Amino acid sequence: MRFSLKKDGVFFLFLAIQCAFWTKAHHVLPNMEVLPPLSSEVTVKASAFGDEQFYFRALGMQIQNAGDSFGRATPLKDYDFKVLRGWFGLLDTLDARSNYMPSMAAYYFSNTQKAEDTRYIVDYLTARGDKDPVKNWWWYAQAVTIAKYKLNDKKLALDIAYKLAAVPDSTIPIWTHQMPAFILADLGETEQAIVIMMNVARDYDNLSQGEQNYINYFIMSNKDKLQKLKDIQKQAEQPRYLTP
């Protein structure tokens, strides 16, 4: 094997240059953002070139895998949930019927280690429900669950629960109309919770035996509050002022 000064010398020269460059630059890492910068609705629709369904899925995959590319594994606590909330709403403008975005928000990103970040998830799911409550009532329910158990904001959960209970669709499960009662009971407003349960029992004649049993159990397990409620109702029925 013969050594060629011309050929092999060039090789070793570039090898030396590469090693010298590496010793100076190996600690310099690219500044890769976890989430892509939020675009405008006009920009996104123009970039779709008429195929909004394809672009919706392409961007959805990008958001789903953001932070986990090029050998990275980014914990959810390091995401900017304000930007993430913006992307969810923006992608809904491309496809307002798909459950891709709310599913990703409710079942994946809500598991962040920073509980306060879930407020953005709750806000998005509630807004999604507001657009079409009959079709999107399930996202109201998810927002209630996240607000109550992860964000630990029971008053916010109650506000959304009232929206869920007011959905004008008799085919959705009975527990959606009972949801405010569950949260009111946790807040110590047991009397109001009993009233809601009694109203459900009165207004719906298609309750299963199990649903009737649970309502009875809920009311009878709070007998002391029920008696107090009856006393209040009796007082309310008495005239406050005497007329001459």
Residue 240 pLDDT > 60? no
Q: What confidence tens digit (pLDDT) does each residue in 12-62 have? A: 777 888 888 878 776 766 667 888 889 999 999 999 999 999 999 999 999
Out of 153, 186, 214, pick the residue that ends a domain. Answer: 153
Rounded to a whole number of angstroms, the CA Rg of the chain reads 29
- Are 125 and 102 in contact by the 8 Å Cβ rule? The answer is yes
Q: What confidence tens digit (pLDDT) does each residue in 131-151 have? A: 999 999 999 999 999 999 999
Angstrom CA distances, 168 to 15, 100, 137, 172, 183, stand at: 73, 24, 10, 9, 21
Angstrom CA distances, 99 to 47, 51, 119, stand at: 22, 19, 19
Range of the domain at 48: 33-153
Query: Domain check: are 121 and 43 in the same one?
Result: yes
Out of 124, 153, 182, pick the residue that ends a domain. Answer: 153
Query: Domain check: are 79 and 178 in the same one?
Result: no
Residue 148 lies in a domain: yes
- Its pTM stands at 0.80
Residue 6 pLDDT > 70? no
Q: What is the pLDDT of residue 146?
A: 98
Query: Domain check: are 144 and 37 in the same one?
Result: yes
194-215 mean pLDDT = 91
Burial class (CB in 10 A: 0-12, 13-18, 19+), 177: buried
Domain count, the chain: 2
Spatial CA neighbour of 118 closest among 170, 81, 78: 81
Out of 125, 153, 181, pick the residue that ends a domain. Answer: 153
Residue 5 pLDDT > 70? no
190-215 mean pLDDT = 91
